[in-house]
Amino acid sequence: MTDISSLCYTTAKEAGLFLKNSFFRKISGAERKNDGSFSTDTDRECEKLIISKIKSVFPTHSIIAEESGIVKSGSEYTWIIDPLDGTHNFMKSTHNFGVSIAVAKNGQLIIGAVYLPMFEEFYYAEINGGAMKNDKKFTSKECSLEESIIVVDADFKSDINNNISLISKISPKCFGIRIIGASSRELTYLAEGIVDGVIQFNDPVWDFAAPAVILREAGAKITSLTGEELTLETKGFIASNQSIHSFLLSAINN
């Protein structure tokens, strides 16, 4: 474990505990952002906690954070932060929310940590090191298309035509469709094989960066909506087990 991965993991856990403690308090400072999503004081305070931890050890590293934006420093390392993934779930007192922190080196995602504090589930991975859950290595599971559960975009109304078209193509072929509303939960479920595919049309990098490292190390697959490698500028993704990725890719693009 490197100094960077160690900081990533410990910070994700500390931030997750902050979210858990905040869950039992009254929600404050809720604001609607330009994209229609919500931000609360908890989102912003948790992000400040994470950034302060990073800057105290690696002050020259770049940062991409959901609430405060992009801080570029010219460093080869970039931290990608989602301090509270699943804010609306959090606001509605459901447990499907978490913190995601990733690190990229020269644009390549190399470290990811996701902590889902209400479930006490900590997923983490470093490139070429395997995927871990609560200190146990795990791998993804394969599943046939006919038996598969596919998670689709929770922000249904923002791209309603694409969502309806997608569901009409995949629902006759798969076992079922689900909506969860937090990429951290959806993609960690996928990494374990609890669901078998996840499609999001509009998610930016902080939603998928950390889970992407975990998914790949577990043996699953994640690409852009057109099947290309993910970058820090990618928006939207297809993630699945290896068996059904080509079908999902075709369903979106044909």
pLDDT (tens digit, 0 to 9) for every residue of the chain, 254 residues total? 689 999 999 999 999 999 999 997 766 666 666 665 667 789 999 999 999 999 999 999 999 998 888 888 889 999 999 999 999 899 999 999 999 999 999 999 999 999 999 999 999 999 999 999 999 999 999 999 999 999 987 676 677 787 788 889 999 999 999 999 899 999 999 999 999 999 999 899 999 999 999 999 999 999 999 999 999 999 999 999 999 999 999 999 88
**How far is 77 from 68, CA to CA, in rounded Å?**
18
**How far is 49 from 245, CA to CA, in rounded Å?**
37
The tokens describing 97, both together, are 């929310």
The alpha carbon torsion through 24, 27, 33, 38 (nearest 10 deg) reads 40
The tokens describing 8, both together, are 């990533």
DSSP of 15-28, one letter per residue? HHHHHHHHHTS---
The tokens describing 103, both together, are 């690190």
Q: Compute the C-alpha angle 37/194/101, nearest 5°.
A: 45
- List the beta strands (DSSP E) in 45-157: 62-65, 69-71, 77-85, 98-105, 108-116, 121-126, 131-133, 136-138, 149-151
- Sequence-ordered list of residues with C-beta below 8 angstroms from that of 243, at least 6 positions apart, any chain: 142, 143, 144, 145
Residue type, 242: Q
CA 124, distance to chain mean position in Å, is 12
How is residue 228 annotated by DSSP?
P
How is residue 72 annotated by DSSP?
-
Q: Which helix (H) or strand (E) element contains residue 240?
A: strand 237-240
With beta carbons less than 8 A apart as the criterion, state whether 149 and 178 touch: yes
Provide the 10 A C-beta neighbour count for residue 155.
18
Q: What is the pLDDT of residue 156?
A: 67
Provide the 10 A C-beta neighbour count for residue 38.
15
**How far is 103 from 8, CA to CA, in rounded Å?**
8
- Tell me the Cα Rg of the chain: 17
Q: Which helix (H) or strand (E) element contains residue 109?
A: strand 108-116
Q: What is the pLDDT of residue 26?
A: 66
pTM here is 0.93
